[in-house]
Amino acid sequence: MWDHEIRAMASTHAIIAASVFMATVLPAVTIRGFSVYGTHLLWLYSVSGTVTAVSVAVFWLLGISPPTKKHTLGYKLSRLFRSCVYFFLSCLFFHTVVVLYGAPLIESALETFSLAVLLTSLTTLRCLCVLGPNVQAWIRVFSRHGAMSVWDTCLQITVACTVVGAWVGAFPIPLDWDRPWQVWPVSCSLGAMIGFLTGLVAAPAWIHYHRKQLTYKCK
Amino acid sequence: MKVRSSVFASFILIFEVFGIALFLRGFFPAPVKSSLSSKSQLSDLPAEPLLGSSPNSSRLPHPLFKRVVIMLVDALREDFVFGPSGRMFMPYTRHVVERGSSHSFVAKARPPTVTMPRIKALTTGSIPGFIDVVMNLNSPALLEDNLIWQAKVAGKKIVFYGDDTWVRLFPKHFMEYDGTTSFFVSDYTEVDNNVTRHLDSTLKRDDWDILILHYLGLDHIGHISGPHSSLIQPKLLEMDDILKKIHSALILKEAEGSLPYLLVLCGDHGMSETGSHGGSSEPEVNTPLVLISPAFKRKDSNIRNPEVVEQVDLTPTLALGLGLPISQNSVGHVIPGVLEEISLRDQLRFLHLNGHQLSCLLKDSIPNYEKEAGFEQFRVAEKAHGSWMKLYIEGNTSEVLTNMGKKVLKQYLEALTAMSSALSKQLGKYDMYSMIAGMVLVFQLLLLLLLAMPEALSSAAAVDLPVLSSLLSLPFYLLCLLLASLHVLVCTSAESSCYLCSLPWGLVFAAVAFSSTILCLLISMATRRLSPGPKIQGKSPLRTSSSEWSLSELDVLLLAGTIGHTLSLGASSFVEEEHQTWYFLLNTLCLAVFQDVCRKYFREKNGSREEEEQILPSKNCHASAHPKGEIYSEKWLALATPPFTLACCRLLRSLNQTGVQWAHLPDVGHWLNSSEHKMVLSLLAAFCLVLIYLLVQRRCSWVSKVALALGLLGVYSYRAAVDNVSFPWQQSGHTMSRGTVEARFVYVFVLGILFTGTKDLLRSQIITADAKLKSRGLWEIYSGLVLLVSLLFRAHNLPVLCGCLLIQTLMAQFIWKKLHYDSAQTTIMHYWFGQAFFYFQGNSNNIATVDISVGFIGLESYVEAPAIFLTALNTYAGPLLWACHLVCYLSSERDSPVAVGHGCYCLALLRSVPAAAYIVLVTVLRYHLFVWSVFSPKLLYESMHLLLTAGVCLFFNTMEQSHGSNKS
């Protein structure tokens, strides 16, 4: 069951993971003085930009985004605009949550916001690609037993992994080891990144092993 | 025997408190203290031993030194002077050590190797334990008998320059002083220049007897860059120059005929390889001690290895050298090398004085002191001394006398060493037997608690304890015998004294019997649990409502958080920054609750309308006016509650910076407390008090409402009286009072409200079985507590109280009840909130954050019992308020009669798990670097919290009692 989808998913994830790898390695080769810890923000932007571009391209090529009812240019533009607004709102949302978790409000606002951008490009952007700017669908997917396709399950797994990764990434901050990766927001963004990559691997694997049990209600 | 789970839980908690107390007794060795409360006086000194009687024998020999200069270099490691770096960077000192008339030693410091306890050790001669630091919280000044005090009483003029810890420890003791703070660790030049700038003028003068210099720079360099940094070299050279300067000045001043000077160079503690200190590693413990005086013999050969002495040996040496009585609690013995050059009679006399003081201390601190070898030796030596004196007074000057004197001297020295080591053994040792006994007791109880979980959380909320059958079983008697024989074995074989062994036999046997009972109970319950009988209807520990064993995300979070927090206590940083853990968990909890709320109101709208319909009618029974509109407003309020709570917590978090790493960051509390923002603080306090009134008064009778309003008014006027806030009509320059009248005015209302509440409770219990009256009584007691806490909280902390009440009200109204959280979940949430609020108040796991000034509110002078009560109440206000709210909420809002029992059981479990885990961790980490600075204070906090939770559980108990009587 769903062998085709799983294969597509695995290759998509491989492409995205490879792009993350390239986004880390290429600047390290080309730009002098680039390092994940030292110029952390630069790495953050490079990774989130690449993930955004690659995800949008791959999902558009794959064509799993929900079928649009109208094909007018105006409608498409409005969808694009709505997506951008959602993207920005999601950044703000993540920023707020991170501040609520205790990030300094003013002092390192740029770092915090960069982390929010990374989290958004890892989670919200996928939702936008798969589900489109449709809040009802989002609520459905992220409530219990709400997945209606393999892609929904995959979305759930990757998003959960990313968020939990970022959450776990905050643990070592209070330790007094004075390591470069304990500086805000390095550990959290690394945690999110590692969580995301784990999710990319885990989602197809999990679906593959549970393909017998998976049943989806139709609309 | 069937007991209700609340009774069971409180029983377990109370005995856990005993177990922890036993553990603490073993972990913190009792300080060796003389029983006399006064200080040593010249007139108390013993007479020179003499067979027969002699008129003027109780005089002290002449002092050895006229002037003493003590140059204390913070964190001066032994190898900085005696090692290769000493040869390079401290050439003059090295020259004096090798060639000059000096004695040099390696002085061993005792952990905690931190400046303040070290200064105390150097001046009192005792070894301050951690518990001393706690006991002397309310007085920064050193009240114990000490060298400085003795010198002052004897009329010596003392001049001090250096670390201002000395100034705080010895206020008004110094003729002249200049304290420098060690606050800015990054500054290592200015702190020392501040000391040295006085040196030239002081050395020229003649009006002082003792000069103490405490240099901090080296310690700061150690903290910044470690013992091998390039900064060490110039600093050591600087110190060497200063020593040279002092020494040459002293040589210049020296006059013929008068007594010589003494220059002491010492370190308070060493420095580890990373540059820090506090622990017990070799480089931290070994400090140099160089005594320079013309009274000593000039050395001609350079000695390789300096002799090892205890740091506290300096105290009796200095005291005797200056002709002062040795302070009572001193455990050191005089350094014999210093006495070499004086007459034999005086030498013996000095040793006798020292021995007498040590034997007195020995008598007071060790129960069977007669058996100590040192004590015996001292008695023998004293007798021999007496007969020697007789011969000496008779004018015998033969060789025999000298030989005999040498023998007495040797006997004395042996006795002193033996007594001194017996005393310090008493001090620095963990009493492992008591610790293990306490630990075993706590773990037995915890296991019992865990094994009883299915029964305690069942719908009957009662635990079946087979006490009688286990008491009558054979294993019980066998265990009793085994444990008793084990006890005898341990006590007879142990070389050091343990607390358990000094207890009377009856008590020990009771403990043994109790422990074996618990063990038998455990075994019988475990067997019953393993063999599935039809009796057990226990379902999953959480979620008793759902029939299947499924955990929601929230349950996973609650369990993982509790376990994770317990595990995190093993790392010192996580103990220091424990508030971060709680804030983090609380935030996640709020987000999880938010998700639950969203799910309920957004998703179930489409899916299961029926369920909502089910809730509707029950709601409509109460308020049937506007069902539809009310539902909608309720929905939005419920949705807004978790974000509001999150925002609230974020604001409260920035109110007080606490912990260690980020404690220096500016926080709102400091901003509010600065004098420019007094107006803001006043407005904020007034607003908070009004809000507190509005939130609390809803459920009280009108009498209590009036009392509450007046009480809160009193709180404001108290704060105005002690000048924290101001009335709008007040001029700024008014006299500050202690506010005793206002505080007592508030106390009257607190007592009044508590009395009304208790009266209502009693009435509901005895006369009319009225649940409404009972709930009112409960809420009244709660509001009395709130009023008391609002008096005790500092003005800038009032928002914490306000936020606590606000969150409680909202959560109770919209979350806990509406989302059908069961009592276990509610209890865990209450516990987490309580912990977070403990830190919101500005507490930390450091003893220093305990606000002791609270103990004086409404009191004219320090009275121990109320001061301790008020301080404890203020410190634990957050957890206590949440626990009390839990009682009130569970017993008044829940229809289920067993909710209180479940809540009580969960609270007991939540408290005992970290406490039990923590004592194991502390035992394992007892030689950790930070055991005194980080782990021990936390241990005290944990035990205090356990004690308070036991109290709250008893309160739970009475509440459930009335429930039972209500039903019957």
User: Which pLDDT belongs to residue A103?
Assistant: 86
The tokens for B567 are 């595990």
Instruction: Read off the pLDDT band of B736 (50, 70, 90).
Output: low
In total, chain A counts a number of residues equal to 219
Whether B600 has its CB under 8 Å from any CB of chain A: the answer is no
Most A CBs within 10 A among B556, B563, B580, hence the mutation to make, goes to B580
A174 at B interface, C-beta within 8 A: yes
What Rg do the C-alpha atoms of chain B give, in angstroms?
Answer: 34
| Beta-carbon separation of A139 and B603 below 8 A | yes
Closest CA to B7 of B960, B948, B886: B960
Task: Name the pLDDT band for B764 (thresholds 50, 70, 90).
Answer: confident
Chain B environment of A184 (Cβ under 8 Å)? none
Residue B582, pLDDT > 90, answer yes
The partner residue sitting opposite B571, judged by closest CB among A167, A170, A175, is: A175
Dihedral of alpha carbons B559, B560, B561, B563, sign: positive
Count other C-beta atoms under 10 Å from residue B417's C-beta.
14
Helix boundaries (H) for B78-164 = 78-81, 84-89, 91-99, 115-124, 130-135, 147-153
d(CA B667, CA B651): 11
pLDDT tens digit string along B680-695?
Answer: 999 999 999 999 999 9
State the greatest distance between any 2 C-alpha atoms of chain B, in Å, as a whole number. 116
Residue in A101, A139, A173 closest to B602 by CB: A139
Q: B574 vs A175: CB contact, 8 Å cut-off?
A: yes
Residue B644's closest chain A neighbor by CA?
Answer: A100
User: Taking CB atoms and an 8 Å limit, are A140 and B603 in contact across chains?
Assistant: yes
Residue of B nearest to A142 (CA): B599
Rounded to an integer, what distance in angstroms lies between the CA atom of residue B717 and that of residue B374? 62
B588 vs A167: CB contact, 8 Å cut-off?
Answer: yes
User: pLDDT digit string (tens) for B279-308?
Assistant: 667 888 899 999 998 888 877 655 667 889
What is the residue type of B828? I
More confident residue, B39 or B266: B266
At B612 the pLDDT is 40
In whole angstroms, give the CA distance from residue B589 to residue B570: 23
C-alpha distances in Å from residue B250, one per residue of B81, B113, B246, B299: 21, 31, 6, 19
Dig out the tokens for B719 from the structure.
Answer: 């704060």
B576 CB neighbours in chain A (<8 A) are 174, 176
Across the A/B interface, how many CB contacts are shorter than 8 Å? 44
pLDDT band at B714 (very low <50, low <70, confident <90, very high): very high
Residues 6+ apart with CB under 8 A from B432: B26, B498
pLDDT tens string B656-676: 888 777 877 888 888 888 888
pLDDT of residue B535: 44
B309: β partners: B107
Q: Which of B292, B2, B8 is nearest to B900 (CA)?
A: B8
Q: Å from A39 to nearest chain B CA?
A: 24
Distance between CA atoms of residues B701 and A156, nearest Å: 52
Q: Nearest-CA distance from A24 to chain B in Å?
A: 30
Interchain proximity A97–B584, CB inside 8 Å = no
Element (DSSP H or E) covering residue B288: strand B286-292
pLDDT digits (tens, 9 = 90+) for B373-389: 888 889 898 888 888 88
Picking from A102, A105, A176, the nearest residue to B661 by CB comes out as: A176
Q: Mean of the per-residue pLDDT values for chain B?
A: 83
Distance from CA of B584 to the nearest CA of A (A): 6
pLDDT in tens, B387-437: 888 888 887 777 888 888 888 889 999 999 988 888 877 766 678 888 999
Kindly write down the DSSP assignment for every residue of B592-639, as one continuous string. HHHHHHHIIIIIHHHH-HHHHHHHHHHHHHH--S-HHHHHHHHHHHHH
Query: In Å, how far are B153, B499, B787 from B689, measured between CA atoms?
Result: 52, 49, 10
Largest Cα–Cα separation, chain A: 58
What are the tens digits of pLDDT across the range A173-219? Answer: 888 777 888 888 899 999 999 999 999 999 999 988 888 777 765 44
Cβ-Cβ contacts under 8 Å, A175 against chain B: 571, 573-574
Compute the residue count for chain B.
968
Give me the pLDDT at residue B619, please: 40
Whether B603 has its CB under 8 Å from any CB of chain A: the answer is yes
Instruction: Confirm if B412 and B351 have CB atoms less than 8 A apart.
Output: yes
Long-range CB pairs of A178-185 (<8 Å, 24+ gap) are A180/A37, A180/A38, A181/A37, A183/A37, A183/A40, A184/A103, A184/A108, A184/A111, A184/A112, A185/A40, A185/A98, A185/A103, A185/A108, A185/A111, A185/A112, A185/A114, A185/A115
Asked if residue B167 lies in contact with residue B177, where contact means CB atoms within 8 angstroms, the answer is: yes
Q: What is the pLDDT of residue B138?
A: 52
Nearest chain A Cα distance for residue B578, angstroms: 9
pLDDT category at B136 given cuts 50, 70, 90 is low
For residue A100, the chain B residues in CB contact (below 8 A) are 587, 646-647, 649-650
How does strand B307-310 pair with strand B286-292?
unpaired
> B661, A174: Cβ pair inside 8 Å?
yes
B588 or B186, greater pLDDT = B588
* pLDDT (average), residues B59-74: 86
Distance of residue B844 Cα from the nearest chain A Cα, in angstroms: 14
Does A136 contact chain B (CB < 8 Å)? no
pLDDT in tens, B840-877: 998 888 877 787 778 888 887 777 788 889 999 999 99
CA–CA gap between residue B657 and residue B579 (Å, rounded):
10
Q: Does B583 touch chain A (CB under 8 A)?
A: yes
Find the range with the poorest average confidence among B152-156, B306-310, B461-465. B461-465
CB contact under 8 A, A101 and B587: yes
Q: What is the pLDDT of residue B183?
A: 54
- Is B580 in contact with A174 (Cβ distance < 8 A)? yes
> How many CB atoms sit inside 10 A of residue B614's CB?
10
Domain residue spans in chain A? 1-215
Say yes or no: B585 contacts chain A, CB-CB below 8 A: no
A140:B599 CB<8 A: no
User: Is B647 an 8 Å CB contact of chain A?
Assistant: yes
The stretch A145-164 carries a mean pLDDT of 87
Q: What is the dihedral of CA B423, B426, B428, B432, to 10 degrees?
A: 160
* Mean pLDDT to the nearest integer, B202-207: 88
Please report, in angstroms and rounded to a whole number, the separation of the first and last CA atoms in chain B.
20
Residue B587 and residue A146: Cβ atoms within 8 Å? Answer: no
Query: How far is residue B686 from each of residues B559, B680, B689, B715, B796, measured CA to CA in Å?
Result: 40, 10, 5, 10, 11
Answer whether B580 sits within 8 Å of A102, measured CB to CB.
yes
Q: What is the pLDDT of residue B549?
A: 52
Test B661 with A102 for CB contact under 8 angstroms: no
Chain A nearest-CA distance from B587, in A, is: 6
Chain A residue closest in CA terms to B597: A143
Decide which of B238 and B392 is more confident: B238
Residues with Cβ within 8 Å of residue B789, at least 6 apart in sequence = B801, B873, B874, B877, B881
Q: Which of B520, B522, B526 is nearest to B476 (CA)?
A: B520
Q: How far is A21 from chain B (nearest CA, A)?
A: 31
Shortest Cα–Cα distance, A115 to chain B (Å): 17
CB neighbour list of residue A205: distance below 8 Å, 6 or more residues apart? none
Residues of chain B with Cβ-Cβ distance to A105 below 8 Å are 654
What pTM value is reported for the model? 0.79
State the smallest CA–CA distance between residue B574 and chain A in angstroms.
7
Tell me whether A93 touches chain B (CB under 8 Å): no
Chain-chain contact of A175 with B587 (C-beta, under 8 angstroms)? no
Does any CB of chain B come closer than 8 Å to the CB of residue A175? yes
Closest CA to B81 of B110, B58, B59, B102: B102
In angstroms, the separation between the Cα of residue A189 and the nearest Cα of chain B is 17
Closest of B230, B216, B199 to residue B69, by C-alpha? B199
Whether A174 and B573 lie within 8 Å, measured CB to CB: yes
The pLDDT tens digits for B496-535 are: 667 888 888 899 999 999 999 999 999 888 888 887 654 4
Contact across the interface for B599 and A102, Cβ inside 8 Å:
no
Least confident of A15-29, B28-42, B472-486, B895-909: B28-42
Asked whether the beta carbons of B115 and B163 are under 8 A apart, the reply is yes
Cα B343 to Cα B350: distance, rounded to the nearest angstrom: 11
